[in-house]
Amino acid sequence: MTSTRFAFLGFFLLSVAAFHARAALTIEITGGASLQIPVAIAPFAGEEAYRDKLSKIVMADLARSGLFKLIDTGGMVPPRMPADVKVAEWKAKGATALAMANVVPQAGGRIEVQFRLIDTVRPDIAQVVQLAGYSLPTNSAQLRLTAHQIADIIFEKLTGNPGAFASRIAYITKRGGTHELQVADSDGFNAQTVFSSREPIVSPAWSPDGTKLAYVAFDQKKPIIYVQTLATGKRQTISNFKGNNSAPAWSPDGRQLAIVLSRDSTAQIYTVNADGSGLKRLTQTTSIDTEPNWSPDGKYLLFTSDRGGSPQIYRMPSYGGEPVRLTFEGSYNVSPRYSPDGKSFVFIQRESGKFRVAVQDFISGQVQVLTDSSLDESPSWAPNGKMILYATAMLGRGVLAAVSSDGRVKQRLSTQAGDVREPAWGPLLKAKP
Amino acid sequence: MKRIPLYLLIATLLTACASDPTTTQPSAQVEDRTQGQQPATPPSADTRPLVPPTAPSANPLQDPNNILSQRSVFYDLDSFDVKPEYKALVEAHGNYLATNPKAKVFLQGHADERGSREYNIALGQKRADGVRKILSLLGAKEEQVEAVSFGEEKPRADCHDESCWSQNRRTDFLYQGE
């Protein structure tokens, strides 16, 4: 690790203490990309009037990704207009780009955030080159979301890939005998309880539009599938057949759910319409067929089956039909999830008694193990495909962790007490100004 | 042939083992201090029953001396096969259900904490369903038995090694009304 990396890490740990006092999940970074993009985030003009300091939220997002080196802006005069930017000075500080913004209050409690990203690589030019410029309408309750959207713009302009900071995560906490389904921003803030029970809750799944969560609850002493609308809290029973009802997975168009029922034999895969109607059985075996997951184009389902004698990952057309086995290494490969680009899938592989997150490429068949822990579960892609969120255990406690899809950057997310598990990373959010 | 009571036979065999010169331990290694603490009357002479005899009408499911009071079948890792040592237990419940058609049992399958929670729900279901099939072969009616799974969500033991995992890979019998 280089000395600059040390300085960066030290800064980040300080920033964690300062900014995450109100976070339900504490996020700690445990790695970094080999090449980090140096970027300067100037304090935003006018942000001091609000509780949520946008530039700090943007900096924490970028730091957490492990892909950026944040340039110290101390001693620099924060520019208000592009014409104020002294490109050569920022370049001398090492920045390849400078983010600046004005936070402007409007009538009726509305706020306009005028954001610009300035190129600071080319020092010899007379005029300032703007990489991005957005006017983002918001309000004081939505400022954190606006900051995450700015971080997404910076991420996309500088890495070439979309960001995923303006998204939410769902997960289950267990404290004492209480199980809670919670939803939080991708940085662990704004945690809200969606459903609470004395009985277990598992397998939360986001609807593609991010307005609903499907999940499995045991409050009737057996697993039953529910769909809950987040804005209203309205909960609907989607599947309550004899035996188990579990493993809900939304189709990409949000019209159907693939589910797993044991009403006809062992666990088998079915589809239902999103309102619970139109049940159709897809697998016809006496083996375990579970954990269905739709391809991004909706044409295929990945699933776990023990039809070959041990749990392995298979793919079949989403209307049913002949499955193809995809995993062959080891005697336990489970929990497949398509990458957002459909080119690979993440899963849990057991090797020598250790359960780890692995990614397999569809074309080459090559498998890369991304973690070195031993009790990993429930991998879930960030909507941009750059990070994978998963559950693991540390000192006997359930924690969440995230790893970049190349395995280089790792984060750990933990609650102050109790266990946290079953993470599901939701879709990107649209702002509601 | 004269019948020898089984307990006498076992006692004889045990004595034979103990007197086998190859297994006899060197003596006087440990000082025996139990002498003074022996009750005045040797316990073998006391024939009073310690537990009052169970009333004939008592529920056999609750009788600790009845195999029907045993309610768990345990499994090997990744396995859903009922091991030979649990055959008698499952058969006793199957016969009970066949002769008590009003009795209803829930079979609750469980898995240890490792691996996928959803796969463990399916594995627990397969364990419970395996027991259900044996019960049905023995004459239990379909409506008398419901097999469900709690996956890894309801561990009996909470530690994180095989001593607990082996207790958590199980199918539990829960009769209606219990």
Taking only the tens place, the pLDDT of each residue in A188-221 is 899 999 999 999 999 999 999 999 999 999 998 8
Regions of chain A where pLDDT drops below 50: 1-22, 432-433
In angstroms, rounded to a whole number, what is the distance separating the alpha carbons of residues A171 and A132? 34
Angle value at C-alpha B142, between B138 and B146, nearest 5 degrees: 105
Question: In this structure, are residues A269 and A257 in contact, taking their beta carbons and an 8 Å threshold?
Answer: no
Helices (H) and strands (E) in chain B, counts: 4, 4
- Range B153-168 average pLDDT: 94
The answer on pLDDT for B40 being more than 80 is no
A310·B78 Cβ contact <8 A: yes
**Which residues are CB-neighbours of A262 under 8 A, at least 6 positions away?**
A243, A244, A268, B122, B125, B129, B147, B149
Sign, CA torsion B89/B167/A379/A56: positive
The answer on pLDDT for B86 being more than 50 is yes
Q: What is the pLDDT of residues A247-285, one digit of tens each?
A: 999 999 999 999 999 998 799 999 999 999 999 999 999
A267·B150 Cβ contact <8 A: no
A-chain CB neighbours of B119 within 8 Å are 288, 290-291, 304, 311, 334-335
In angstroms, rounded to a whole number, what is the distance separating the alpha carbons of residues A374 and A245? 28
Which phi and psi angles does B44 have, rounded to 5°? -65, -20
In angstroms, rounded to a whole number, what is the distance separating the alpha carbons of residues B158 and B178? 24
Q: What is the DSSP letter of A405?
A: T
Token reading at B155 = 């561990």
Q: What is the DSSP letter of B34?
A: -
DSSP-assigned letters across all residues of A118-134: EE-S--S-SSPPEEEEE
Q: For position B9, what pLDDT does the model report?
A: 44
- % of chain B beyond a pLDDT of 90: 60
CA distances from A60 to A14, A35, A89, B31, B98 (A): 11, 18, 24, 71, 66
Q: What is the DSSP letter of A77?
A: P
B78 touches chain A (CB under 8 A): yes
Token reading at A271 = 């589809």
Q: For position A124, what pLDDT does the model report?
A: 63
In angstroms, rounded to a whole number, what is the distance separating the alpha carbons of residues A151 and A296? 25
The candidate with the shortest Cα–Cα distance to B151, out of B118, B175, B128, is B118
The answer on pLDDT for B12 being more than 60 is no
pLDDT-derived band at B50 (thresholds 50, 70, 90) equals low
Chain B residues 110-169 within an 8 A CB cutoff of chain A: 113-119, 121-123, 125-126, 129, 146-151, 153-154, 160
CA distances from A384 to A175, A356, A368 (A): 31, 22, 19
A291·B118 Cβ contact <8 A: yes
In angstroms, rounded to a whole number, what is the distance separating the alpha carbons of residues A44 and A56? 9
- For the whole model, what pTM was predicted? 0.83
Q: Which residues pair with B7 in a beta bridge?
A: none
Q: Which residue has the tokens 């269905």?
A: A292
Q: For position B45, what pLDDT does the model report?
A: 58
Q: For position A31, what pLDDT does the model report?
A: 67
Residue B28, Ramachandran bin (φ over 0: left; ψ between -120 and 50: alpha; else beta): left
A-chain CB neighbours of B160 within 8 Å are 393, 396
